[in-house]
Structure 1
């Protein structure tokens, strides 16, 4: 439980990180990550079965 309290104190709502801040000495590398989310079809083109499952 002590670690939770410590991490809560490190939280900065203005930081892009969940815990802590980006420091001058930090190295941030941007990577390209493919999306695994399928693009949704327009509502008119979707077929929903009687049980509510998309087919």
Structure 2
């Protein structure tokens, strides 16, 4: 699915972020997505509280 413009925002499929080193995890209970940066050896940096 390509990126789209919606209500003045650019929306992209979150799975595309993995192509640039961004990881994500779906929380079914909360129905939210956590987004984080991936680095070598599987380490991650937690998301910013402002996101």
After TM superposition, the score normalised by the length of structure 2 is: 0.18
Between 1 and 2, higher relative CO (CA 8 Å, sep ≥ 6) is seen in 2
Q: Please identify which structure carries the higher strand content.
A: 2
Larger Rg: 1
